[in-house]
Structure 1
Amino acid sequence: MQAWLRLSRGIDALNRFFGRIAIWFIFAATVLSAGNAIVRKLLNVGSNAWLEAQWYLYAAAFMLAAALTLRNNEHVRIDILISRFSLRTQAWMDLFGLFFMLLPVCVGVLYFSIPFFWQGFVSGEMSSNSGGLIRWPVYLTIPVGFTLLLLQGISEAIKRVAFLRGALPSPFVKESDETPPAGGAEGAR
């Protein structure tokens, strides 16, 4: 189990790294957006390339941050229902969701997005907008983001199994939380 937990910690670290990159993409997109608006209003000059660059940066940020959101247990879920169950039942429900919903969707998206990216890369597909950018960089964010999400899903499954085996405290603690909830691994939520 310890080898699996090391793998899980490695995946978590990888997604924290990409989460930090996503923050910088948001910052760059915000600066680009503000600069573009100022130039457009003051000088009456616009650029489709700058608008598309904003879009690419936001797309990359969201795709890269999705796995970290799962890692931090901040994704959308039905807490009002699931919180009524014990932590062990919640872990089993999460495992079901991971194995029968999240991981198959990630594999399906990867199956279709890798050839989609490759076709855009090989063809050098360009935006149809005047002065637009090449498209493959934004296409690449789809398989990269879903690969990170797939890996994080595996990491979360490892943590749920470790919790069920008594090798980890509650997997429902957010990264920013310092201690698990009162009552340890068996505490009610």
Structure 2
Amino acid sequence: MRRALDRLYDGCAALAACFMVGLLVSVLLSILGRQLHFNIPGIDAYAGYLMAGAGFLALAHTLKRGEHIRVTLLVGRLSGRAQRVMELWALFAASLLAGLTAFYSVRLSWQSWQFHDISTGNDATPLWIPQLAMALGTLVMAVAFVDELVLEARGRRLATLPEEATRNE
């Protein structure tokens, strides 16, 4: 199970990287279009979709690598059982919020598909297509938070602090 979850997180990160490359290509095409006097309809909208998709798809991988911003002002002052209880509470609350975000993201994408909702720009893209990246990213992040909660409850969670954060504190 651990390997499958890690592959899921890494797969979403790889997909986010592909979206970033797509974003780069979109921006370069937009710049070239202005310089060489040609227009690709909707290229700015596609760049926005790719940027949003990359951000959402990278959420779980970033969480599992300990790279999310954490406010440790309170938890850092606690120790022992109090710290563990606070960690469990925070992970439970985060799992709940991530689950709600995933639910409503999937629902939004589903409703956009049902109602044939399209973008208002000249690209007229069916909105459920770019919303799929958001839905997938939030779903995988919810799974990652539940994964962290279960690991913490079992006492197997490794608190990973990025090197940069430890140098800055």
TM-score, L = length of structure 1:
0.74
CA RMSD of aligned residues (A): 2.3
Matched letter for residue 23 of structure 1: A
Partner of 2:127: 135
Q: 1:24 aligns with which of 18, 29, 40?
A: 18
Partner of 1:76: 69
Q: 1:117 to 1:79 in 2, by over 3 A?
A: same
1:37-186 equivalence runs, <5 A: 37-40=31-34, 42-86=35-79, 89-99=82-92, 101-163=93-155, 168=156, 171-173=158-160
Structure 2: which 5+ runs fail to align? Answer: 164-169
Report how far residue 154 of structure 1 moved: 1.3
Question: 1:126-174: per-residue Cα shift (whole Å, max 9, x none)?
Answer: 21112332211122223211110111011111221232xxxx4x61125
- Structure 2 distance, partners of 1:121, 1:129, is 17
Question: 1:18-53: per-residue Cα shift (whole Å, max 9, x none)?
Answer: 11111121122112212211221x223333421111
Identity, % of aligned positions: 23
- How many residues of Structure 1 are paired with residues of Structure 2 in the alignment? 163
Q: What is the SS of the residue equivalent to 2:58?
A: helix
Contact 2:95/2:142, CA 8 A, preserved across alignment: yes
Q: Which has the higher contact order (CA 8 A, sep 6+)?
A: 1
Report how far residue 89 of structure 1 moved: 4.6
Matched letter for residue 160 of structure 2: V
Contact 1:39/1:45, CA 8 A, preserved across alignment: yes
Contact 2:118/2:125, CA 8 A, preserved across alignment: yes
- Structure 1 distance, partners of 2:159, 2:30, is 42
